[in-house]
Amino acid sequence: MTATRQALEPVHLSAGRLYLRPTLPTDEQAVAAALRDPGVKRWNTGVSIANAREPERAAMWLRVRAHGWASGSGAHFAVTDATTGELLGTVGIRDINRLPQQALASYWTAPAARGQGVAAQALDVVCRWGFAPTESGGLGLHRISLDHALENAASCRVAEKAGFRLEGTMRGSFLAYDGRRYDSHLHARLATDH
């Protein structure tokens, strides 16, 4: 029996130089630019969005993220510069409590913000919020996992910097937008990890 989900109240998280807020329709232009980047498109769009007409991709991507908050299944954040508001990337967790007290993480960084530790810092902040008890405004999760294609070495570095331990390799688990399958690393971080 599956528990009934309730909508998640969108939250904003401050992280020094970064400000994390729910994605908004006004992010469409910046998201569209990021989705044109070959790395973001290859590893982060999924088949449906990558194969949609280019003018529709960003709006589709944003609708999926908004649905996460509304359905209680995901919490997706725009990672912005705390001073300028510029979109630097995104981070989120989805499949919240599909398995008890667990979720899956994902992230991407806009090309201009890469190599600055943005994704690792944002992922750490979202995990701390996710692990926080519900009475403190968190999600009360115990485990957050993520996976990435083995060929995406940058994602492996982000996971490790954000405290995710490598748990193994999943054969043929990553389906790229072009239909090719890749082996993936599985990483996880527990609320009890220090």
Angstrom distances, CA of residue 31 to CA of 3, 41, 165 = 33, 11, 29
pLDDT for 4 = 52
Domains of the chain: 13-190 (3.40.630.30)
Ordered strands of the 181-190 beta sheet: 13-15, 18-22, 74-81, 87-94, 102-109, 143-149, 181-190, 165-175
pLDDT for 43 = 76
At residue 24, what are phi and psi to the nearest 5 degrees? -130, 155
Question: What is the pTM (predicted TM-score) of this model?
Answer: 0.91
Question: Does the pLDDT value for residue 96 go beyond 90?
Answer: yes
pLDDT for 55 = 79
List the one residue out of 84, 130, 129 whose CA is nearest residue 110: 84
The token pair at 139 is: 């999600």
Q: Break the chain down into helix, strand, coil percent, rounded to 5.
A: 35, 30, 35
pLDDT for 166 = 97
Query: pLDDT tens across 44-80, in order?
Result: 777 777 777 877 888 888 998 999 999 999 999 999 9
**pLDDT category of residue 22 using cuts at 50, 70 and 90:** very high
Angstrom distances, CA of residue 24 to CA of 9, 62, 69, 112 = 14, 7, 12, 21
pLDDT for 1 = 39
Average pLDDT of the chain is 91
pLDDT for 194 = 72
Which helix (DSSP H) or strand (DSSP E) does residue 128 occupy?
Answer: helix 118-131
| Lowest pLDDT segment from 55-59, 112-116, 128-132, 183-187 | 55-59
Query: pLDDT tens across 111-122, in order?
Result: 999 999 999 999
